[in-house]
C-alpha cells in the first residue's frame, strides 16, 4: 500500500515537473540567447519605421497563425508536395503579408544566437507585441518556448479564421472555439485600430448595410466601386498608423469598416464593452495585452513537439 502511494506521488511529481519544463515563459531565451528579443525588437522597429502599415501586418500574421491549430508558425509554410499552405486560404491569399520581415528576423536572430534556437512561432509572437508598441500601443511579457509545426492546413484556415462578414453570434462562437470569451473578442478586434482592409472585404457593407453612417459609406464608395478594385485599401479607422481607441469611436458612430467590426456595436451583448474601451483607453490597453497573452497560449507546441525550423517557410527534413 505504501509503495503504491509512493508510485502515485512520483507520477504526480514527474507530471508537475514536465508541465513546468514545457510551459511557456517570458524568460525562456534569457540563458539560451539573451540577445534574441532585443534583435527582434530592433528589426521590427526598422520595418515599421520604413512602412507603418507593416505593424498591423505583423500583428495579423500572429493572429491568423494562432487561430489555425494554435500558435505554431504554420501560416509561414510555403506550399509543397506535403504542405497545403495556409497562405492560400481565403483570409490570407493576396492579403497576409510581412513574410519577408519574419525571414529577415529569423536569419539575424539565428546569426546572433549562433544556431537556430528561436522558433518561428516565438518570432511571430514577439514581432506582434513589438509592432503594437512601435505604433503607440501597450506592451506585455510574451510567454516563449513555442516550437514550430511540421504541417499546415488551408482547409482548417478557411474554417477557423474569422470572416469579415460575420455577425456577432458567429464571432462569439468562432472565438469560443479557441477558448476566448466576449471580452477577448472585443479587445482583440481592437487591433483593427491599426491597418487597412481590401475593398473586397467591405464592399457589401458600404453598398448594402443599413447600420452605417451615410457619409462614411459615400466616402468609402469613392475608392471601392461595385465591381473591380477588389484590392484597393481603406483604413480600418481614422488613425490607421496609431494604436489608440478611435476604432471604438468609429463603431459608436456606425463607421465600422467591416461587417464584423460594426457587429460589436449593434445593440448586442458587446455594446457595453465597446463603450468602456472608447471611454477608458487604459482599460482597453490592459485588456488587449491580456487577451494577446491568452491567444498566444492556444495549443502551443512545446518540449519535444514540432521542431525549430531553420527556414520559417519550410519544414526541416
Domains and CATH numbers, the chain: 33-159 (1.10.520.10), 166-290 (1.10.420.10)
pLDDT above 80: residue 22: no
Q: State yes or no: 62 annotated in a binding site.
A: no
Q: State yes or no: 189 annotated in a binding site.
A: no
Choose, from 60, 62, 64, 143, the residue flagged as catalytic.
64
pLDDT digits (tens, 9 = 90+) for 107-132: 999 999 999 999 999 999 999 999 99
Confirm if 144 and 125 have CB atoms less than 8 A apart.
yes
pTM, 2 dp: 0.91
The count of other CB atoms within 10 Å of the CB of residue 167 is: 13
pLDDT above 90: residue 201: yes
Burial of 89 (0-12, 13-18, 19+ CB in 10 A): buried
Reference 100, options 116, 88, 87, 113; nearest CA is 87
At residue 144, what are phi and psi to the nearest 5 degrees? Answer: -125, 170
Q: What is the pLDDT of residue 82?
A: 92
pLDDT above 60: residue 6: no
What percent of the chain is predicted at pLDDT more than 90? 92
pLDDT digits (tens, 9 = 90+) for 175-194: 999 999 999 999 999 999 99
Report residue 17's pLDDT band, with 50, 70 and 90 as the boundaries.
very low
**Residue range 84-95: average pLDDT?**
94
Q: Is 4 a catalytic residue?
A: no
Q: State yes or no: 261 annotated in a binding site.
A: no
pLDDT digits (tens, 9 = 90+) for 231-251: 999 999 999 999 999 999 999
Average pLDDT, the chain: 93
Report residue 14's pLDDT band, with 50, 70 and 90 as the boundaries.
very low
Q: Higher-confidence residue: 9 or 179?
A: 179
pLDDT above 80: residue 21: no
- What's the first-to-final CA gap in the chain, in angstroms? 49
**Residue range 95-101: average pLDDT?**
96
Q: Which residues of 97-131 are buried (b: 16+ CB within 10 A; e: fewer)?
A: bbbebbbebbebbbeebeebebbbbbbbbbbbbbb
Q: State yes or no: 65 annotated in a binding site.
A: yes
Report residue 23's pLDDT band, with 50, 70 and 90 as the boundaries.
confident
At residue 58, what are phi and psi to the nearest 5 degrees? Answer: -70, -35
Residue with cell 483570409: 91
Q: What is the pLDDT of residue 20?
A: 35
Q: State yes or no: 193 annotated in a binding site.
A: yes
Confirm if 97 and 56 have CB atoms less than 8 A apart.
no
CA torsion sign, 228 to 190 to 105 to 314?
negative
Q: What is the pLDDT of residue 19?
A: 37
**Residue range 19-31: average pLDDT?**
78
Angle at 291 between CA 285 and CA 293, to 5 degrees: 105
d(CA 106, CA 112): 10
Confirm if 132 and 293 have CB atoms less than 8 A apart.
no
The count of other CB atoms within 10 Å of the CB of residue 88 is: 14
Q: State yes or no: 213 annotated in a binding site.
A: no
pLDDT digits (tens, 9 = 90+) for 139-155: 999 999 999 999 999 99
Q: State yes or no: 260 annotated in a binding site.
A: no
Amino acid at each position: 500500500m505504501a509503495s503504491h502511494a509512493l508510485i502515485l506521488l512520483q507520477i504526480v511529481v514527474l507530471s508537475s515537473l514536465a508541465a513546468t519544463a514545457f510551459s511557456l515563459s517570458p524568460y525562456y531565451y534569457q540563458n539560451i540567447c539573451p540577445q534574441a528579443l532585443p534583435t527582434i525588437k530592433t528589426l521590427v522597429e526598422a520595418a515599421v519605421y520604413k512602412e507603418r502599415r507593416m505593424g498591423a501586418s505583423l500583428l495579423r500574421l500572429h493572429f491568423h497563425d494562432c487561430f489555425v491549430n494554435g500558435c505554431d508558425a504554420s501560416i509561414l509554410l510555403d506550399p509543397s508536395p506535403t504542405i497545403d499552405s495556409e497562405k492560400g486560404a481565403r483570409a490570407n491569399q493576396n492579403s497576409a503579408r510581412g513574410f519577408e520581415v519574419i525571414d529577415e528576423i529569423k536569419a539575424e536572430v539565428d546569426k546572433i544566437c549562433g544556431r537556430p534556437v528561436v522558433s518561428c512561432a516565438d518570432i511571430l509572437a514577439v514581432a506582434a507585441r513589438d509592432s503594437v508598441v512601435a505604433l503607440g500601443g501597450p506592451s506585455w511579457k510574451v510567454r516563449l518556448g513555442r516550437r514550430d509545426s511540421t504541417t499546415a492546413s488551408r482547409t482548417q484556415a478557411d474554417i477557423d479564421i474569422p470572416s469579415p462578414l460575420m455577425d456577432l453570434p458567429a464571432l462569439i462562437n468562432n472565438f469560443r472555439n479557441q477558448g476566448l470569451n466576449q471580452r477577448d473578442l472585443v479587445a482583440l478586434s481592437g487591433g483593427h485600430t491599426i491597418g487597412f482592409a481590401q475593398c473586397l472585404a467591405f464592399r457589401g457593407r458600404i453598398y448594402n448595410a443599413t447600420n452605417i453612417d451615410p457619409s462614411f459609406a459615400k466616402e468609402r464608395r469613392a475608392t471601392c466601386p461595385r465591381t473591380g478594385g477588389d484590392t484597393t485599401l481603406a483604413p480600418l479607422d481614422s488613425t490607421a498608423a496609431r494604436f489608440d481607441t478611435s476604432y471604438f469611436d468609429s463603431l459608436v458612430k456606425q463607421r465600422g469598416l467591416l461587417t464584423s467590426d460594426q457587429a460589436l456595436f449593434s445593440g448586442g451583448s458587446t455594446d457595453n464593452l465597446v463603450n468602456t474601451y472608447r471611454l477608458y483607453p487604459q482599460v482597453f490597453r490592459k485588456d488587449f495585452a491580456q487577451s494577446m497573452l491568452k491567444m498566444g497560449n492556444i495549443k502551443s507546441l512545446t518540449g519535444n513537439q514540432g521542431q525549430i525550423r531553420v527556414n520559417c517557410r519550410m519544414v526541416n527534413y
